Amino acid sequence: MSYIGRTPVLGNFVKLDAITTSATATYNLLNGGVAYYPQSANNCIVSLNGVIQSPTTAYTISGSTIVFSDALTATDVIDFILVLGDVLNIGTPSDNTVSLAKLTATGTKDATTFLRGDNTFQTIGANTPAFHAQDATNTSVANSTWTKMSIPTEIFDTDNCYSSSRFTPTTSGKYFIYGCLKSSTDTDFDNLGIRFYKNGSAVDPLVRIVNQNVNSAYMAFTIELNGTSDYVEMFGLQNSGGTLDLQGLVFGGYKLIGA
């Protein structure tokens, strides 16, 4: 809707109940029979005997009463008292009238952030850095020896953090890591295991061991990593009694949002 001239002003305007005058200067202010408390004389318009009165000079406001500078008489007429709204109270804004620039919240205000309960803007974020590698490359694993698995083929690597079968994230946080390996042959063995190493040391007790006649193993876990030096690798184990080729089928992970 458009207007000719100035746009109408919105506010919490209140016309108070009529007052019968008498030989006094102080009168109660009511709105629908209930005491009303204007916040100051300056946001009231008072008409007395057809003349608009000067606030703080002709009258003052004290709580829910108006106090005129001189006592009135029964012949005086208070035409109306109009309150222009509480100080700083603009009422309820119309739909689609409040822009991001009007919000007091701190942080970046744009389409990529959301407003939190603590009045701050937070980036939605993404599960990155993230990587996923898979391959059927054989890794020769000696009997009962934890050996790093070779998984060279990257399917994706969002931040170039995966190299030489090692994940080195560039962002600190908690990460979900997963992996799968299998025996390249059907040779019987007592156990087949998968384990993740952080900075060259095994992460215990997160070890997955499967018994014979099952030629694959899967493991997933959550780990906290810094964004400077921490790295993760996947290791495999078999105890067939001799050297055996294992295949690192899958190795991947991603940062948890907000973690």
Percent of the chain with pLDDT over 70: 89
Instruction: Tell me: pLDDT of 166 over 90.
Output: yes
For residue range 37-82, list pLDDT tens digits in order. Answer: 998 999 899 999 999 999 999 999 999 999 999 999 999 999 999 9
CB 80 within 8 A of CB 27: no
- Per-residue confidence band for 118, with pLDDT thresholds at 50, 70 and 90: confident
pLDDT exceeds cutoff 80 at 147: yes
Q: How confident is the model at residue 213 (pLDDT cuts 50, 70, 90)?
A: low
Q: Which two tokens stand for residue 180?
A: 């799968």
What are 172's two structure tokens? 């600190």
CB contact set of 223 (below 8 Å; sequence gap of 6+): 174, 175, 177, 196, 198, 203, 232
> Can you tell me the distance from the alpha carbon of 219 to that of 3, in angstroms, rounded to the nearest whole number?
68
pLDDT of residue 151: 94
Per-position DSSP letters for 2-61, written without gaps between them? --SSSPPPP---EEPPP----S-SEEE-EETTEE---S-GGGEEEEETTEEPPBTTTEEE
Domains parsed from the chain with CATH numbers: 14-83 (no CATH), 130-255 (2.60.120.40)
Give burial (CB, 10 Å; 0-12/13-18/19+) of 86. Answer: middle
Q: Report the C-alpha gap between 195 and 205 in whole angstroms.
A: 9
How far apart are alpha carbons 2 and 147 in whole angstroms? 75
Give the pLDDT of residue 188. 59
pLDDT band at 136 (very low <50, low <70, confident <90, very high): confident
Rounded Cα gap, residues 48 and 230, in angstroms: 80
Strand pairing class (173-183; 216-225): antiparallel
pLDDT for the residue numbered 2: 54
pLDDT confidence band for 205 (50 / 70 / 90): low
Identity of the amino acid at 77: V
Greatest mean pLDDT range, 83-92, 101-110, 186-195, 231-240: 231-240
99 contacts: CB under 8 Å, gap ≥ 6: none
Strand extents, DSSP E, 85-137: 113-115, 121-123, 130-134
Q: Does residue 9 carry a pLDDT above 70?
A: no
pLDDT given for residue 96 in this prediction: 79
Question: How far is the CA of 206 from the CAs of 36, 117, 138, 253, in angstroms?
Answer: 69, 37, 23, 16
Q: Looking at residue 186, what is its pLDDT? A: 65
Do the beta carbons of residue 140 and residue 250 sit within 8 Å? Answer: no
Give the distance, in angstroms, between the CA of residue 218 and the centroid of all CA atoms in the same chain: 34
What does the pLDDT read at residue 35?
94
pLDDT of residue 259: 63
d(CA 78, CA 20): 8
**Residue range 114-133: average pLDDT?**
85
Q: Are the CB atoms for 58 and 49 separated by under 8 Å?
A: no
- Greatest mean pLDDT among 108-112, 127-131, 254-258 lies in 127-131
At 206, is the pLDDT very low, low, confident or very high (cuts 50, 70, 90)?
Answer: low
The mean pLDDT of the chain is 87
Q: Looking at this protein, which amino acid is placed at residue 202?
A: A
Cα 232 to Cα 162: distance, rounded to the nearest angstrom: 10
